[in-house]
Structure 1
């Protein structure tokens, strides 16, 4: 048994359980754990199994186009990468954006967040808590009573409504084509919900499908399309012409009214369905407060949603910025994304190579040079790995650290930082949720807390959308229709050599893009994404990252049916596509692209 510097006792002597791939996430992920005779996890190894070559692809390209490539990192959190990219270029070239552009960017970013949170909970994560097959046993009348008790404002709550859904579900199950419900561990005692709660949640699974197709229309209105909307260095690409009826891409009265309608619809869903569901489901799992990992020790948030354009000071950000280390909630540290001593990436246990072993690099000096090799104690081959060697290299994800600490990022991290900093909206939400659930504050540091933070944040972000929509309309009424600053669009106006950084809070957490521009072209580009923080392997000192730490000491009902592993890993909403990318089975380069 070994103890990590961040306080976890690791014991790899027990039975090894391999989950590969971890499904219902974006990308490809592998997880290995060791369980003792009581079925308790005593060692965890988290692996990203694809190499990301995006930084290599961007070298030599026009920085004004970088957002379009960065946006393709992922098919889910697309716009947030584009926003981070244009902010990095604007930072390097000292470009200010108009007030309307700031409001529209915030609306697009908030829409992305809420869409991601809703889809994540209902279509990726809920099945770790909800048993849709058990819903067939439910009494529709009792389900209706439960719905009206947890959310009396939700209009779709009659016994007949739930009976219709149950009949649809029954036909689906009897057909034998279970789709996403196939191969579930539906008889596992880890599932705790009543049949009525299962039917209610499964019904809302279907309602969330309808909502998600509506909220993405905000991206199509302001960005032309979804899932990869258009962005612009210097502002946003959509002109405002309130008197227009046919101009392609122009924002007119009809478009603005539609956005307002979608915001109201989304707000109603988050308040009347999403949060009540998390509270109702959480009530059955109040004793299952595992999965906290390092959330009680070290969390990081860059902050986002600036009130005013071009002002990223902490006091102007609606999503909080700061870092907490060593579990000290009485001190929120400021974060300097430019300081080479604060943010560094290590590759001691990653399939990359740096010039000096054990040395971390700040992203501005980052290098993406792959080196695929299995550790000496790994079992299997490069193309058929049976067991990884965590003492060697075992992941395509690097290990970022803040002042040497592994950090958890994401909605829970944002809410812990905000709570500790005295953010009024966040404190009121957290205190109210804990009071409703009759739970102590320490319950926040858990898988349930991570899931609840995402739901609470969605409701808060709905209020922010209303705020920025009102701000945009007020500006337009006052005669301001400006959406872009193109004064420095011509590369002849740029310095010969510059560097910049752009950050956001992506749905999954702290996201940063660092860029170096030379002679009008990208010389170096590095992205440190949320899942790189959370899914990092061990570092030089032996610290484990957020994914691995969250699994430690979790009891499993049936280790061969790893519901508990999926439940906790899914609570982070992993995006391995963001943190990794394409490589051949033998680690060879697939192709070479020359940019002219």
Structure 2
């Protein structure tokens, strides 16, 4: 089966084995749908690859497109205009801020927020609480009572609608009713907020959720006058206004809510660490051409074994550094399943040997996933907001250090608390604040170039395939909201000879490798104690802290291998 969204959106299955006390002794992460886009791309014009790779995911469309065009540009030596770089940065940043806010409220908050409990809240007390957290204007008792009445209608009608999937009343929920009501209200506000945020992609890319892109620059013309098919002064003013609204929501809603909720769950600052190794490919280049990889706002790097005193470098083209293994994946390599391959030499040879889908138990001692196992110098690596924040912090970035230290200080937690389920959630929020603030500078830089008379967004000087070398290869690297993302392309006779994408959910959700090393999901779950195996909210909390862009199916089995519960969750 071919599905264009697996690995970053599709189906994820977690099988957790527990001992007699309910402690998870082994967890196995399985991607249950095959993607196959790499196979589809063979023989195609490399300039068209972005439109196919964009369909890897229905959420991360911007980042896959840009990784693809960067790979082709790097292979062919294209240099894009500076305006195009600013536009790409703004589109990537908008994706980050939008995605992180949506994840917190709509994909993860309900693991911590008891929706039904909000019916017991005192709206006046909730309004008072909001006042202590920030100056957000929607803070009257009447406003919160209105939300409460909407929720009451859902409950009394017997249908919770968008709040259906949850273990309401589970003893693991710790928030007071007033905090629950606050979070539910902001959940609904975030739904309305995000409708305007995505318009930034439509302005620069023509549409959303699959904006247009182009090898050689940005897919939009800039006009100093009103023009129906170009980015106009009015469009640009809207972008500036929207950046202001994004920053206000992050500063006055998202960040305060994270700290308020985290204060009740500080025990999760010591659970769900994972592998202890972190990887970032870097993002937001200020320069173009040779400067593209040396002027990054978020630096690339590796942290091993929690050691924040040293950030190691990454070489994307060294065949000994980044490799993918398939020892426990439903693929074959021509040199054997125990071999690791660098993506330039990567293979996509499908060989399904698993159970009849969807619910037979996996043979986790054999192959059990459509996801490969990427490794850096043989080691599993966690990618995502936590990796980026840790590398910024370890690199001495002043803004990051100030924000992290201040936030952890308010929670009375040490920096080591970041190595946890709660740490991932906090890092995602703090990164959103950092990137939203950076957007103002990106916007100002674009406006300044336009004001100077530079309207160029596309370089067509090299857009003649007859000038291409007979053979070329390149890698497009970047950071997606969920972590390190890279596309490797090999071009022969003006056509794609090989294409491999190693995406964030491959790093985090991959199965055990040849040496039996667990992937980050699997390692993070080991040792969790389930209060109620029939309602495994602990599993959801840790897996969702990685922000898996997948529909999850979670199975829990007892020491004898008997299935206890099957849970379908968002």
TM-score tier (shorter): over 0.9
1:219 aligns with 2:201: yes
Q: 1:206 maps to which residue?
A: 188
Q: 1:113 maps to which residue?
A: 96
1:63-92 CA-partner distances (Å, limit 9, x unpaired): 111101111110000010000000000000
1:43 aligns with 2:17: no
CA contact (8 A) 2:9 2:56 kept: no
Alpha-carbon shift at residue 575 of structure 1 (Å): 2.6
Deviating more after overlay: 313-322 vs 119-128: 313-322
Return 5+ residue gaps in structure 2 as ranges: 1-7, 552-570
1:125 aligns with 2:108: yes
How many residues get paired? 544
CA contact (8 A) 2:84 2:217 kept: yes
2:316 & 2:260 partners in 1: Cα distance?
39
Q: 1:330 maps to which residue?
A: 309
CA contact (8 A) 1:290 1:554 kept: no
CA contact (8 A) 2:299 2:392 kept: yes
Q: 2:67 maps to which residue?
A: 84
Aligned residue among 420, 424, 439 for 1:446: 420
1:530 & 1:311 partners in 2: Cα distance?
25
1:246 aligns with 2:227: yes
CA contact (8 A) 1:48 1:395 kept: yes
1:542-557 maps to which residues of 2 (within 5 A)?
Answer: 542-557=516-531
1:134 & 1:242 partners in 2: Cα distance?
53
1:142 & 1:26 partners in 2: Cα distance?
39
1:411-426 maps to which residues of 2 (within 5 A)?
Answer: 411-426=385-400
1:495 aligns with 2:457: no
Alpha-carbon shift at residue 289 of structure 1 (Å): 2.4
Alpha-carbon shift at residue 288 of structure 1 (Å): 2.4
CA contact (8 A) 2:272 2:528 kept: no
Alpha-carbon shift at residue 383 of structure 1 (Å): 3.2
Alpha-carbon shift at residue 432 of structure 1 (Å): 1.0
Q: 1:279 maps to which residue?
A: 259
CA contact (8 A) 1:188 1:557 kept: no
Alpha-carbon shift at residue 327 of structure 1 (Å): 2.8
CA contact (8 A) 2:375 2:381 kept: yes
1:125 & 1:385 partners in 2: Cα distance?
24
1:437 aligns with 2:416: no
1:25-82 CA-partner distances (Å, limit 9, x unpaired): 9321111111222222121111100011100111111111110111111000001000
1:177 & 1:274 partners in 2: Cα distance?
27
Q: 2:327 maps to which residue?
A: 348
1:507-546 maps to which residues of 2 (within 5 A)?
Answer: 507-546=481-520
Q: 1:359 maps to which residue?
A: 339
Aligned residue among 485, 494, 504 for 2:478: 504
Alpha-carbon shift at residue 307 of structure 1 (Å): 1.3
Q: 1:369 maps to which residue?
A: 349
Aligned residue among 54, 68, 77 for 1:94: 77
CA contact (8 A) 2:273 2:421 kept: no
Alpha-carbon shift at residue 553 of structure 1 (Å): 1.0
RMSD: 1.5
Aligned residue among 218, 239, 243 for 1:263: 243
Alpha-carbon shift at residue 326 of structure 1 (Å): 2.8
Alpha-carbon shift at residue 183 of structure 1 (Å): 4.2
Aligned residue among 13, 19, 26 for 1:30: 13
Return 5+ residue gaps in structure 1 as ranges: 1-24, 375-380, 578-596
1:136 aligns with 2:119: yes
Q: 1:309 maps to which residue?
A: 288
Q: 1:571 maps to which residue?
A: 545
1:312 & 1:49 partners in 2: Cα distance?
40
2:404 & 2:272 partners in 1: Cα distance?
16
